[in-house]
Structure 1
Amino acid sequence: MSARKTANDQVVERRGRRLALRGALLAVIAIVVLGFLAAGCTKISTAPDEVRLHYAGGPFEAIKFVKCVNPSSGATYLGPGDTSYSYPFGQRTFDFSGSQDSESKQISIVSKDNVQLDVAGSATFTLNTSCETLRQFHEKIGLKYRSYFDGGESDGWRRMLNFYFKQPLDRAMDAASQEFEWKKLFNDPSVKQQWEQRVGQLARQFIKETAGADYFCQPNYAGTGECGDVVLTIQKPEPPQSLIDALAAEQAAKQQNLAQQQINTKVKTELESIKDLVGVLGPQGAILWKAIQDGRVQVVPVPQNGSINITPQSR
């Protein structure tokens, strides 16, 4: 009985060792698998001014769109081989002022009377971050130009703006400028306002035509409802400095001519006055009257006794 119990105990002991070994092996396998998964996963989150597109796939499988990661989202995990692309959420500006930080130099236009002028300004907009529209933008335009953000605004974003904003704006301004003469564009506020309105109409039309969809919306667009129009801010067209100088000289000549006309009118009035004076007093009387008026002759009253003392005027 004692020997049988000992044999059973040995069997149980061996079985226990096998189970323990199997458990340890499974634990090791689990750790390895988890480590492999952790090494292949990426954790992302979004800032308040950022939206991301999540794509699954890798070298051995097709790349497929998964979802949009909205602004201010917490940790999202990307699987092995997955990728994400960041785009701006909120107002953006295409600056064509020609300054150091601008996206473009000033835009040149030609007026109705064939004068070249330079125009500075900006276009303010919001990228359409409605999920399906943003996905289309990314797959049709973003990948081509690499315009997605990678730690900040990319060169691809600037190249994209130069194509989808500068070229339509250039076309719109040229078309609108052919309707006005340069002096009126430069000097007449009402004409400039008409020109701005025409540029705005054409620019919004050409931007949509170039992009092929409503990818660029009004500055306060939040992803739902009507996309709206890009807002343009345009400075006064500037002609070459030589024309500005010539215009200033022309204005100065006009002012001088006006001043001379006023002088001529004054002289004519004085001559008419002298003519009337001669008609009343005669030539000598008119000369004497003028001398008295100018203070060159002093009138001395004659006393009753008839004696007069004359003191010559000192010169």
Structure 2
Amino acid sequence: MRTRSVPLLAAALVLTGCSIANPTSSEVSLQYGAGMFDSRKFVECETERDVSDVNDDHYYYPSGQRDFTFGDGDGIDSAPLTSTTQDSQEIKVTGTVKFTLNTDCAPFTDPTGKEWPGGKLQMFHELIAYKYDAAPTDGGEQMNAGWTALLRNYVGAALDRATDNEALKYPWQKLYTDAPAKAQWERDVLAQLPRVLNTLTQGVDLITINSVLLQKPGIQPQLVQGLTDKQAAELRSQAAEVDKQAAANFPGGIPGYQAYQQQQAVNEAIKSGKVQVLPVPQGSPVIVSPTK
């Protein structure tokens, strides 16, 4: 008998004119009337299994935390962003934003005076997500391709503005080499991002930003080379200063130190096989000649 239960249930639903909303534990479903004799209107929010009119539509949205990733490689939501620093240098910005969709279904009135019986989730669906065909119409499915485009045009666009605004406070080298400065830039972006995002959603917090993780910014190749050259010059300067101090304290002063350095160079050349020692009578100076 159990093998017939599913077909029998399906047949019963067809005969009685019913459909089933079946959101998972991490989803909220919006039901809209779409029957032959129904107007196209919101019915209710659903967080658990529910039977409704066979012609009604259901749209499923995530109720848990999600990621918006931007950078290089496969499986990324957006290409890297670019920002300009205080000293007019362009940097590449990559990282991750963790966010939560506001699935509050409590009735409310938005700043324009429009009433939403299905709360902020209904507002998000009708004003934004429906235009992108972002939500699947079956529970437990992946978000539609339009979801990624939606994230780029809202979370990504707001993030681009926030990183631009905050990068202007720092010279590029601070963000590239100074960990505390880079961490402060990250915190500043996190503080500004929700405000910028709300300007795109009529001032209503339809998307909650939980955290922002920014990777070390990418810089122009010539800046990398310049930084490398600067570090090399600093190392050479430090080495020269060490040599100067060593020579001043060496027995015999600078001439003694130079003779010592020359002898060390000869010893290293002999060890490496670059010169050979020629046999001489006892008591004569050692004679070396380059190897061929």
TM-score category of the 2 structures, normalised to the smaller one? 0.7 to 0.9
Residue 266 (1) aligns with residue 241 (2): no
Aligned to 1:155: 145
Matched, 1:82 2:56: yes
Q: Does residue 1:194 correspond to 2:179, yes or no?
A: no
Cα 1:39–1:190 change in 2 (3 A) is same
Structure 2 gap ranges (5+)? 1-10, 106-118, 264-280, 286-292
Comparing 229-238 with 52-61, which one deviates more in the overlay?
Answer: 52-61
The structural deviation recorded for 1:267 is: 3.0
Higher strand share: 2
Tell whether the 8 Å contact from 1:216 to 1:230 is kept in structure 2 after alignment: no
Question: Is 1:206 aligned with 2:196?
Answer: yes
Looking at structure 2, the residues matched to 199 and 313 of structure 1 have their Cα atoms a distance apart, in angstroms, of 77
In structure 1, what is the equivalent of residue 108 of structure 2?
none
- 1:247-277 deviation digits (Å, cap 9, x = unpaired): 11210111011111221233344598489xx
Which residue does 2:219 correspond to in 1? 239
SS at match of 2:83: strand
CA distance in 2, matches of 1:146, 1:239: 37
Matched residues in 1 for 2:210 and 2:242: separation?
52
Determine the structure 2 residue equivalent to 1:23: none
Match of 1:133 in 2: 120
Whether 2:43 is the aligned partner of 1:66: answer: yes
Measured against aligned partners, the alpha-carbon deviations of 1:96-127 in whole angstroms (never above 9, x if no partner) come to 12321011011111111111111111111111
- Which of residues 107, 116, 129 is equivalent to 1:142? 129
Give the whole-Å Cα distance in 2 for the aligned partners of 1:123 and 1:197: 12
Pair 1:313–1:103, CA change in 2 (3 A): same
**What letter matches 2:61 in structure 1?**
Y
Call closer, same or farther: CA 1:127–1:265 in 2, change over 3 Å: same
CA contact (8 A) 1:58 1:81 kept: yes
Match of 2:207 in 1: 216
Larger Rg: 1
Q: 1:57 aligns with which of 24, 31, 34?
A: 34
Separation in structure 2 between the aligned mates of residue 144 and residue 258 of structure 1, nearest angstrom: 63
Q: Tell me, what secondary structure is at the counterpart of 2:34?
A: strand
More helix as a share of residues: 1
Paired letter, 2:155 = F
Among 166, 175, 184, the alignment partner of 2:165 is: 175
Question: SS at 1:114's partner residue?
Answer: coil
Tell me the distance in 1 between the aligned counterparts of 2:13 and 2:253. Answer: 112
Letter in 2 for 1:122: T
Letter of the 1:128 partner, please give it. Answer: N
Q: 2: distance between equivalents of 1:124 and 1:36?
A: 40
SS of residue matched to 1:211: coil
Distance in 1 of aligned mates of 2:59 and 2:176: 45
Aligned residues: 236
Letter in 2 for 1:120: T
- Could you tell me the TM-score, scaled by structure 1's length? 0.68
Task: Give the TM-score taking structure 2 as reference length.
Answer: 0.73
1:124 equivalent in alignment to 2:112 = no
Query: Aligned Cα RMSD in Å?
Result: 2.7
Counterpart Cα distance in 2 of 1:183 and 1:111: 9
Range with greater deviation from structure 2 (197-206 or 40-49): 40-49
Following superposition, the deviation at residue 211 of structure 1 comes to 2.1
- Tell me how far apart the structure 1 counterparts of residues 206 and 88 of structure 2 sit (CA, whole Å): 35
